[in-house]
Amino acid sequence: MTVWKPFAIVTNNSTLQKSTSTRKISCFDRHHPINQNQPAHNKSTNMKSKIQVQMDDKEVIDSMVSSKTEKERFPRLLSSDEISVESASSVSKWAAPYDPAPVVEQSTVLMVGFVLFVLAQIWPPLILLVAYFACKLIPYSFRENDDPATRRRLWAEFVRDEDLPDDFKIPSENIDVKHGFWTNRRGMLLHTVTVLPKDQPVKAVACFCHGYTDSVSFMKLVENQRLAERGIAFCAIEYEGHGLSDGALGLFNDWNLLIGDVSSYFSEVSQQFPQKPMFLMGESMGGAVAYSVYNAVPDLFRGVVFLCPMCKISDNMLPPQSVIDVLKWLIGPSGPSASWLGYLPIAPARNSLENVTHKVLEKRHLCSRSPLVFGRNPRLATARELIDVTQRISKSLDQFDAPFLVLHGKDDVVTDPRLSQSLYDESPSKDKSIRLYEGMWHSLTTGEPDENIDRVFEDCIEWIEARAK
């Protein structure tokens, strides 16, 4: 019987007397050649040769199947008498079907039942109190846009909204916008955006790092078109748990994994723009990302532009240190996946980000309507990572020697402008500049009046152009 396999099969002279060279045959490739040096023929000859190739392929596989014993063809299939003690474990590994781990363990269910039983014995109304807290916590912690597939569907519906301003639907005529997905080493799809000038050559590449629970799919994409209109390609990737990327919204459990994703992607971007100078741009938490990415691959970039960087979280945004210490102990360590407690968006915060980032009220409302926005308290695991990384950065400012420009609004209450001044003062860099904007808030590129945003981008573009020559 003839056996066809959906894999490439390689044969050589020892297998076939008719063949004069190594042959690679794939049943998925309809146009595979028998001999790469074979000259082209007319259509009729080609048709005959294709038919002959298909017949030859069948003969090849028939001869291979008939010439081998069952044991030679399938070396993993052993009789029960031939399975030794040493090989039993490896055979059983392949014989057992895949059994996915449960999301909720049996022990957890039993523990919950035991706790409810104890509460009922102590004071029955306690069960009602537990139910009340559960009805508040569970709907708050689990929302439909937490799931990336649902988030992408909601986003597609959002951009079709007739009330959405045209600026957010139709890009400038002078640019070309490309969306895509990049797969990281953990198999997650991360959304990417590339904005290129249409009628002029690319003179530099700006690799943008967005902020916490932000994205580059909406307002950032519109405002950063200014870069491409001046000949600077804009490239960005949305982190795990952000925007249209995979992962629970607002969640990442390991800062180093996030930095590895961004560094790897921008390294691939550099291959798409050979000989073009590359610069990092980081806003808010993206400033900490840019800081870390530059330290990871310093030879890739000519400099960094910081926009209200998260060198340290402002004290008025943090809970007391004693609360932080207890929460870190409960949440557990960093890693690819968060604990059930680390998933919960219950990190205490003294102020809500919603009302302190965007200065212009209309832009604040527009931003809050996006299904990509995470409008809850930080998840505990994410909060732990943010606190840890800002503590590390604030202690290493005197070692950061990259060329950089730091821009910060003096009225920013999310990230402390004094820490940007500390970055400028302590850094040993020989090429550093700082601009502190009077009266500006946290979101310099999307939340300010248009004239302020124009001023910010003009400062960024001038700094990049001067170092791209």
pLDDT value, residue 463: 98
Tokens of 64: 């291979």
Q: What is the pLDDT of residue 232?
A: 97
Closest CA relative to residue 319, chosen from 357, 301, 346: 346
Report strand pairing: 432-437 vs 204-209. Answer: unpaired
Residue 50 has pLDDT above 90, yes or no: no
Q: What angle do CA 195, 460, 362 make, to 5 degrees?
A: 75
pLDDT band at 314 (very low <50, low <70, confident <90, very high): low
User: How distant is the alpha carbon of residue 373 from its chain centre?
Assistant: 16
Residue ranges per domain, the chain?
9-95, 106-141, 146-467
Query: What does the pLDDT read at residue 35?
Result: 40
pLDDT top residue among 16 and 178: 178
Judged against a pLDDT cut of 80, whether residue 39 lies above it is answered with no
State yes or no: pLDDT of 59 exceeds 70: no
Predicted confidence band of residue 100 (pLDDT cuts 50, 70, 90): confident
Residue 140 to residues 134, 185, 330: CA-CA distances in angstroms?
Answer: 10, 31, 20
Helix (H), strand (E) counts: the chain: 16, 10
Encode pLDDT of 213-267 as tens digits.
999 998 898 899 999 999 999 999 999 999 999 999 999 999 999 999 999 999 9
Identify the bridge partners of residue 234 per DSSP, sorted by sequence position.
Answer: 195, 206
Distance of CA 148 to CAs 243, 249, 282, 318, 371, Å? 8, 7, 24, 28, 11
| Strand spans (E) along 198-263 | 204-209, 232-237
Confidence (pLDDT) at 313: 67
pLDDT of res. 46: 43
Q: How confident is the model at residue 330 (pLDDT cuts 50, 70, 90)?
A: confident
pLDDT of residue 65 exceeding 70? no
Predicted pLDDT at 443: 94
Q: pLDDT digit string (tens) for 399-413? A: 999 999 999 999 998
Indicate the helix (H) or strand (E) that contains 24: strand 23-25
pLDDT for 371 equals 94
CATH topology (fold) of 146-467: Rossmann fold (3.40.50)
Token representation of residue 216: 């580059």
DSSP-derived secondary structure for 146-213: GSHHHHHHHHHHHTT-TTS-GGGTS--TTEEEEEEEEE-TTS-EEEEEEEEESSS---EEEEEE--TT
As a whole number, mean pLDDT of residues 356-362 equals 89
User: Does the reported pTM lie above 0.85?
Assistant: no
Which stretch, 70-84, 89-103, 243-257, has highest mean pLDDT?
Answer: 243-257
Structure confidence at residue 191 as a pLDDT band (50, 70, 90): very high
Q: How far apart are CA 258 and CA 440, in angstroms?
A: 29
Label residue 32 by pLDDT band (50, 70, 90): very low
How sure is the predictor about 426, in pLDDT bands with cuts at 50, 70 and 90? very high
Work out the average pLDDT over 171-195: 93
On the question of pLDDT at 123 being above 80, the answer is yes
Q: What pLDDT, on the 0 to 100 scale, is given for residue 231?
A: 96
Mean pLDDT of the residues in the chain = 81
- pLDDT at residue 184 is higher than 90: yes
- Which region among 36-45, 264-273, 321-330, 350-359 has the lowest average model confidence (pLDDT)? 36-45
Answer yes or no: is pLDDT of 71 > 70: no
